[in-house]
Amino acid sequence: MNTNELELLCQQTCTLVTSVADFIRGEVGKVGAEKIETKSLNSLVSYVDKTAERKLVAGLSELLPGSTFLTEEETVEQAAGEFQWIIDPLDGTTNFLHQLPCFAVSVALRQHEEIVLGIVYEVNRRECFYAWKNGGAWMNGQQISTSATASLADSLVATGFPYRDFDTMHRYIEILQELMKNTRGLRRYGAAAVDLAYVACGRFDSFFEYGLAAWDVAAGVLLVQEAGGRVSDFDGGDDFVFGGRLLAAAPGVFEGMFGVVKNQA
């Protein structure tokens, strides 16, 4: 798929994602405790997640016939293929259920082994972040870029706390201690897709986290890369979409951040 085709598909997908975000916004405050399921420890889901996913799958199947899906809620057959959509229909479900204003729809397209399209729509602020391969990164029609921050000391760092897998917690706490002493501050919003979108537009200077799934990060990774940022796993490699450990940062702070997470990983 060439750049022009990707741009058109990205525009069409943004329209679909916006409509799904409108549905999610309309359900805020309407989900009673009896409608919430626990998939695993501290991992919640409701009819909103599942309905949003079905809407996305139906629309994306029309936009790109024959494409396959990898989705968080598994409302469709999970399969690989030349073109595979990677979907988190509601990243930040706990925030949504508690009516905390940070949750998003995340949609990425993977062609063979490469992410070529990514969209993160932050529902509350109605901000649509999107990128396609070699097309730059955008938010609501304006091109975005990572920050110009040049030192770790001047940086604002985003992260996510362990909430179900605590095997790495001691290493994580060591990283936090190092960053508390050597950065401008730390933030934990509870939606990795949004954290990555905010790195892409320069609101955060970096983001790192353990225990992430592909649908949490696939779209946001492309946003950061197309916005001029750097992304790696904690070993400096490229196993960050499926490897569960991710560092994304503006160019000026990447090496400083990598030095911290590498030493503790």
- Confidence at 166, pLDDT banded by 50, 70, 90: confident
The confidence score (pLDDT) of residue 264 equals: 60
The confidence score (pLDDT) of residue 76 equals: 84
Distance of CA 258 to the CA centre of its chain: 20
The confidence score (pLDDT) of residue 221 equals: 98
The confidence score (pLDDT) of residue 33 equals: 74
Question: What domains are defined for the chain?
Answer: 3-144 (3.30.540.10), 152-264 (3.40.190.80)
The confidence score (pLDDT) of residue 265 equals: 56
> Does the structure show a pLDDT above 90 at 125?
yes
CB 196 within 8 A of CB 214: no
The confidence score (pLDDT) of residue 187 equals: 97
Residue 179 Cα distances to 153, 212, 245, 253, angstroms: 9, 20, 17, 12
In the chain, % of residues over pLDDT 70: 94
Strand 142-144 versus strand 137-139 pairing type: antiparallel
> Does the structure show a pLDDT above 60 at 186?
yes
Whole-prediction pTM: 0.94
Show the CA angle centred on residue 108, arms to residues 103 and 110, nearest 5°. Answer: 160
Q: What is the pLDDT of residues 195-243, one digit of tens each?
A: 999 999 999 999 999 889 999 999 999 999 999 999 999 999 999 999 9
Helices 214-226 and 192-200 pack at an angle, to 10 degrees, of 0
Mean of the pLDDT values across residues 122-133?
98
The confidence score (pLDDT) of residue 42 equals: 45
Mean of the pLDDT values across residues 117-133?
98
Q: Which residue has the tokens 């525009």?
A: 11
> Does the structure show a pLDDT above 80 at 38?
no
Residue 106 Cα distances to 122, 132, 137, 151, angstroms: 9, 14, 15, 30
Could you write out the three-class secondary structure of the chain? CCHHHHHHHHHHHHHHHHHHHHHHHHCCCCCCHHHEEEEECCEEEEHHHHHHHHHHHHHHHHHCCCCEEEECCCCCCCCCCCEEEEEEEEECHHHHHCCCCCCEEEEEEEECCEEEEEEEEECCCCEEEEEECCCCEEECCEEECCCCCCCHHHCEEEECCCCCCCCCHHHHHHHHHHHHHHCCEEECCCCHHHHHHHHHCCCCCEEEECCCCHHHHHHHHHHHHHCCCEEECCCCCCCCCCCCCEEEECHHHHHHHHHHHHHHC
More confident residue, 146 or 3: 146
Chain mean pLDDT for the chain: 92
The confidence score (pLDDT) of residue 263 equals: 65
More confident residue, 79 or 249: 249
CB 121 within 8 A of CB 92: no
Mean of the pLDDT values across residues 39-68?
85
